[in-house]
Amino acid sequence: MNDFIFHNPDKVYFGTNQLGHLSEELLKFGKKVLLVYGGGSIKKNGLYDSIVTIAKNSGIELFELSGVEPNPRHSTVNKGAAICKKENISVVLAAGGGSTIDCAKGIAAAALTENGDVWPLVSGGVWVTKALPVVAILTNAATGSEMDAWAVISNMDTNEKIGLGGSALIPRVAFENPEYSYTLPPFQTACGAFDIFNHVLDNYYLAGEASFDLLLEMQEAVMRTVVKWAPVAMNEPENYEARANLMWASSMALNSILDGGTVHGCACHAMEHELSAYYDITHGHGLAIVTPRWLTYILDETTASAIYRLGTQVFDVPKGLNEFEGAKKAIAALSDFCFGTLGLLPTLTDLSIDETHFKAMAEHACISGSITGPKVLTPSDVEAIYKMCL
């Protein structure tokens, strides 16, 4: 078991009736607020109007950056940072899903750099310790950005999608109202759910004997919750219980309560980021295609027992089987969940992706030479896994 530090000062207002606290929280940082949002869904569901009214009634001066992309671009981030610099913004308010919050985090970091450009921070792997405060209003259970220290920013000029991390990027306050996710269609709900699942799995002890039982237990609790409630949310989009369980699972998956000294490999995320960087596919869908293949690829005598445990604890794989047999059944159960229950197309071929860029993508996924995790993956391993996804 490794030593670890847990520190997450984010203040979360969870539930249907919390937006009344927005102005008091924003005003702790100042009166000039940059509102960041995406394609306008917050205009349809009334959230935009609520924010404007709250700002007006409390003397907050609201500036806006709209049109944040599903994989937010560095160029959009830089536009926001320019507004912050010009208008002397005191706090960045994100209203949307993970992409919008990630964009707001990038803005908050870039706004305090000399030239207001986020890309040198991203590509340079800078750990951000200075940023404007970020407040997030979450509308989609998926990325965990509402409680984590990370943002993923894409540069479509160079086909790069890279994480930007830093303690200063943890939102100071997050509002999580499950009702805001009622309008999410089944496909987006499924992709978000699998993103959550994979965040936990990427931290799960898949190699060797686990020594931190409580951590495994809590990780399995979150994964079971996703498996149980994702299909309910897909079939009954306005089921509050389903939306609330998924939304809180999203936060639990990445607020580092489930870290506990595990060595983050994030193998699937590293491989998937290349897919969405090259093909702009939905992140959770890419993850669902990659994950079962990755598990199959790394299955050996060092990982079999943990993969089997995943099957028995999170899915319905019976106990008492031979470890390898059990692990294979676990991977089959996970595939059923992804491509049956969640209804996601199962191959890259289905998404019109062929092996053209696999070699380049595999090399970029292993930007530091390899991907760590239960098995160290070299570029040729990653390429082989991509090919299994065809």
Question: What CA–CA distances, in Å, run from 340 to 24, 260, 337, 343?
Answer: 45, 32, 5, 5
Q: Which is nearer to a copy of itself, 117 or 259 (CB)?
A: 259
- What is the widest separation between alpha-carbon atoms in the chain? 66
Using CA atoms, how far apart are residues 73 and 219, in angstroms rounded to an integer? 31
- Shortest gap between Cβ of 241 and a copy of itself (angstroms)? 5
Distance CA 52, CA 50 (A): 6
- Minimum CB–partner distance for residue 137 and a copy of itself (Å): 15
Helix, strand, or coil (residue 111): coil
Q: Which is nearer to a copy of itself, 245 or 282 (CB)?
A: 245
Output 253 or 267, the one with its CB closest to a copy of itself.
253
Which two three-digit tokens encode residue 357?
A: 């860029």
| Residue closer to a copy of itself, measured from CB, 206 or 242 | 242
Question: Are 306 and 207 contacting, i.e. CB atoms less than 8 angstroms apart?
Answer: yes
The least distance separating a copy of itself from the CB of residue 375, rounded to whole angstroms, comes to 24
In the numeric block, which tokens belong to residue 246?
A: 């998924």
The least CB distance from residue 239 to a copy of itself, in Å, is: 11
Q: Residue 17 or residue 57: which is nearer to a copy of itself going by CB? A: 17
Between 158 and 211, whose beta carbon lies closer to a copy of itself? Answer: 211
Q: By the criterion CB under 8 A, which residues form the site for a copy of itself?
A: 1-18, 211-215, 217-218, 220-222, 224-225, 228-229, 240-241, 244-245, 248-249, 252, 257, 260-261
How far is the C-alpha of 295 from the C-alpha of 303, rounded, in Å?
9
Buried b / exposed e along 278-314 (16+ C-beta atoms within 10 A): beebbbbbbbbbbbbbbbbbbbeeebbbbbbbbbbbb
Q: To the nearest whole angstrom, how small is the minimum distance from the Cβ of residue 389 to a copy of itself?
A: 30
Query: What is the pairing mode between strands 160-165 and 173-176?
Result: unpaired
Strands (E), 46-90: 61-65
Write down the least CB distance from residue 21 to a copy of itself, Å.
8
Least distance to a copy of itself, CB of residue 167, Å: 10
Return the number of the residue (15 or 186) whose C-beta is nearest a copy of itself: 15
Shortest Cβ 123–a copy of itself spacing (Å) = 30
Nearest to 290 by CA among 162, 218, 201: 201
Residue among 76 and 225 whose Cβ is closer to a copy of itself? 225
Residue-wise DSSP of 160-217: EEEEEE-GGGS-SEEEE-GGGGTT--HHHHHHHHHHHHHHHHTTS--SS----HHHHH
